[in-house]
Structure 1
Amino acid sequence: MKINKLLILAALPMIGLTANAQDKGPQKNDFTVAATVSYNNTVMQNAAVGTLPSYNGFQAQSTNWNDKSLQVGIEGGWFFLDEWKLVLGGGMSITKHPGYSGVPGSADSDESFEWGDVPSYGAVADQNFVQFNVYTGVDRYFKTKVDGLYLYAGARVGYAYGRNISFTDDEYNMGKSVGEAFNVRGALTGGVEYYITDGLFVGAQVDPFAYTYNRSLIKPQEGLSNLDANSHNYSILAAPTIKIGFKF
């Protein structure tokens, strides 16, 4: 009898570990926060800086994820049901470049410039940049036979915007110029997550199909109409992403 009791006592920790392992993974009302490494989905259209540009050759900003660089991001999630997750992510950046007036050189003109003369210093444009992106979506999770391993499929919609305002106080330049661009994106997505512990997971994701619409424009100076362009992008097996996160 003592031997049986000892065997039972020895087996209890193993039984507890097994039960705990079977509980690994998300449940209703769980929240997740993950760091992601994926393509840079932001967009920016620079304003026209300097002398008035030509109206030829202007193109919409690229929305091809192959043209983008890698970027670290943050993604949050909420399991509103045991196997359904609401996802939200995004970011914002604001940059200011102070402007400076031009300084005339020692020569009266370019034609009279001689050796030893000091060249003119051109004006530095006063610029500000605003850039942000946001996306949301819903994922459906599927348990597998491997403890802690989940597959998921879902959909995403996203919006990205970039604006550059440039002002040059110089008789040889155009004054205020504005550049703007935005992306609207929709995608089907699928991925896999493995819960190393109940609160720590790693994962990988890819979009089987994605569509992105872009519009880019420049208003070279006050009183002129916009220089406008747009594009449509269709991608298959796009935007591979890896992630590591926490559940709480």
Structure 2
Amino acid sequence: MSTIAAEGSSLPRLPVWRTAKAGYRDTYNNRDALVRAAALPLVIAVLLESFIPEGSSDPGLGILRTVLSFVVITLFQALWLRFLLLRSPEARPGLISYPGKRFLPFLGYYVLLLVLYIPALLFQFSAANYEGPTPALTIILIVALYALAFYFGARLGFTFLWIAVDAPQRLGASWRATRKNGMRIVIVLCLTAVPLLLLPFGVGLLMAAMDSGVAAQLETTAYESWLLWILIPAGNVILYLYYALACSVLVQAFSTLTGWSLHRREVLERFE
């Protein structure tokens, strides 16, 4: 076990299409556990968006909403990842569950990886305050910085899976385990999102086909509108479904590239 594949020339190649399909299949086959893991975080997310609208005039409320949304997303992903990796009764989430000692490390590394996006955000903020049309080069640079941050995040993403199973490996081990497969993981994560992105696109086409009165009601910012009370939960369901699928394909990639399985957990020693 100590002569590791990650240090040799015969690194496994992540099969992109097969990994994406396996992630969708695994999510569907474990839909009961998914509903249990997502139920409470999803309800909290819907309530936050309903009662603290985006663009609230109170900056404190806006910050509170962002922080709480981030915390509940982390809670969901920590529970869901642990179940996908262990499949044990102990790891099976309940309607009200807490990932225990794993939550704070999970949250801490999440915040650490978000730092990768700071350069892109700074350039975007500067562009938003630029008088006149934003230069094309600036737009390209912003997109490139976001793409680079996403790539590094994908390379370091196995950190969360090791936290979920109480293994000691962290960022360095994730970087080694994903060597020569970083772009493949990025493509899998993007491919996973395509079907879900088609849903809002379909809604947009439906709105375009509606009469002007209904369309105007959909576009209102009044959260008392019954249409928005439908769209808010629907949007969050799609968002959490993507988080669930992204976790599932990451687990599939993790199994392929590290050799992880329920019966051979010792392969994790390769990356210490």
**TM-score normalised by the shorter chain: which range applies?**
under 0.3
Give 1 or 2: higher helix fraction.
2
Give the TM-score normalised by the residue count of structure 1.
0.23
TM superposition score normalised by structure 2: 0.22
Q: Which has the higher contact order (CA 8 A, sep 6+)?
A: 2
